[in-house]
Chain A
Amino acid sequence: NAGVTQTPKFRILKIGQSMTLQCAQDMNHNYMYWYRQDPGMGLKLIYYSVGAGITDKGEVPNGYNVSRSTTEDFPLRLELAAPSQTSVYFCASRAGTDNQPQHFGDGTRLSIL
């Protein structure tokens, strides 16, 4: 059971480039989340989804977009990369409606130069 899989693990982008961070889960979870983790700042919620076709903004959505066409996949898109988006990105999923704990991927370390 793979759980939550994030790709790539590391990436370096130039300012203005675009890329998609991939996230896939094989647990049939309806709820999926994207966070960014900056040093000493904890995790900040970027976007979340409560099921296929439904997404909503979190605390720090600017500069990002998401889609949820299937239950399994929740990609995060950066359209015009900026140095402020240098961070570690975590995808998570969870089951159920009674707020089960989240399962996290291993993270993607992204640097914008």
Chain B
Amino acid sequence: AQKVTQAQTEISVVEKEDVTLDCVYETRDTTYYLFWYKQPPSGELVFLIRRNSFDEQNEISGRYSWNFQKSTSSFNFTITASQVVDSAVYFCALSVPSGGSYIPTFGRGTSLIVHP
């Protein structure tokens, strides 16, 4: 069975601090995809990044960066110089093949609060 663990329920930082959100996953599949989504206070879910299991390259997008390590089954997300607008719940998700489709499993989410 697939599992995604986001051990940090809530993180509170002051603006301009760097913050890392942890994501650990479990699967026996060798082909899978990992995602991060952002859910701001308004409630909608916004896609941030997708990574497949064969691509361990880290990625940077502006103040956001992602560190994918298959050896530790982790896909961590770092926000550099956090801003108040980064306050949101962040979800890590794992998607594995099943019957010709991919079935997603979400973590419980990490609530990030950035104080001015």
B75 at the interface (CB under 8 A from A): no
Interface code B75-113, partner A: CB below 8 Å = 1, 0 otherwise? Answer: 000000000000000010001000111111111110000
Given contacts A40-B108, A99-B33, A99-B95, contact A106 B44 (CB under 8 A): yes
How does the 8 Å CB contact mask read for A40-80 relative to B, with 1 for contact and 0 for none?
11111100101000001010000000000000000000000
Q: Could you tell me if A101 and B103 are in contact, using CB atoms closer than 8 angstroms?
A: no
Question: Once the chains are docked, how many angstroms separate the CA of A48 from the CA of B105?
Answer: 13
B6-42 contacts to A, CB under 8 A, are 6, 9, 33, 35, 37
CA distance A88 to B109 in the complex (A): 15
Give bound CA distance, A68 to B91, whole Å: 27
Residues in A neighbouring B45, C-beta threshold 8 A: 90, 92, 102, 104
Whether, in the assembled complex, B116 has its beta carbon less than 8 Å from a beta carbon of chain A, the answer is no
Asked whether A42 and B104 contact (CB < 8 A) given A102-B47, A107-B44, the answer is no
User: Cβ of A99 and Cβ of B9 under 8 Å apart?
Assistant: no
A58 to B95, CA, bound (A): 13
Q: B50 within 8 Å of A by Cβ?
A: yes
Q: Is the interface of B mostly helix, strand, loop or mixed?
A: strand
**Number of B interface residues in the complex (CB < 8 A):** 26
Q: Which residue of A lies closest to B6 (CB)?
A: A42
0/1 string, B59-81, CB within 8 A of A gives 1:
00000000000000000000000
Docked pose: A45 CA to B103 CA in angstroms: 9
Chain B residues within an 8 Å CB radius of A99: 33, 50, 52, 95, 102
The complex places the Cα of A44 from the Cα of B109 at a distance, in Å, of 12
Interface centre among B45, B91, B106 (most CB of A within 10 A): B45
Which residues from chain B contact A31 at a C-beta distance below 8 Å? 101
Give CA–CA (A99, B105) in the complex, Å: 13
A-B contact pairs, 28 of them (CB 8 A): A33-B104, A35-B106, A40-B9, A40-B108, A40-B109, A41-B108, A42-B4, A43-B106, A44-B106, A45-B103, A45-B104, A48-B103, A56-B99, A88-B43, A92-B45, A99-B33, A99-B52, A99-B95, A100-B50, A102-B45, A102-B104, A103-B47, A104-B37, A104-B45, A105-B44, A106-B43, A106-B44, A107-B44
